[in-house]
Amino acid sequence: MFFNTEEHNDTVIVKIPQRFLAETVQDFKSVIQASMERADRDFILDFGATDMVDSSALGAIVAVYKSISLTQRVLVLSSLNDTVRTLFELTQLQKIFPIEESLDDALELLKKNAD
């Protein structure tokens, strides 16, 4: 399995690997789906270790976002380096996803939304 997860209260943190590419997309979707089945939870995708994301991975993130949104939950992206952030900006996806500088900032955003 390429994706590690952590739980923090009602939030699932998915650690994105260094290279998030087409060959890891199915594993990513499986991890998210399994986490969604257990309870209503918000999600953070932690890109702290990631330096490469391809178009298949972007498509998977959008698909997962749609699934999570249907459950009235939130998907936040955190810790994007300049290269990954530029990719999201070039594809205009920063308009869809909340993007936070750090994992702590993402957790704080979700805590504020819950209050």
Query: What rounded mean pLDDT belongs to the chain?
Result: 94
Percent of the chain residues past pLDDT 70, beyond the cut: 99
Give the model's confidence band at 28: pLDDT under 50 very low, under 70 low, under 90 confident, else very high.
Answer: very high
28: Cβ contacts below 8 Å, ≥ 6 apart: 2, 3, 14, 20, 57, 60, 64
In this prediction, residue 33 carries a pLDDT of 93
Domain boundaries, the chain: 10-114
Q: CATH says 10-114 is which class? A: alpha beta
Give the model's confidence band at 1: pLDDT under 50 very low, under 70 low, under 90 confident, else very high.
Answer: low
Q: Which of 60, 57, 53 is nearest to 80 (CA)?
A: 53
Residue given tokens 């704080």 in the structure block: 108
Residue 52 in tokens? 């490469």
* pLDDT beyond 90 at 37: no
Residue 24 in tokens? 């890891």
pTM attached to this predicted model: 0.95
The arithmetic mean of pLDDT across residues 9-25, rounded, is 95
Contact 41, 35 (CB under 8 A): yes
* pLDDT beyond 70 at 55: yes
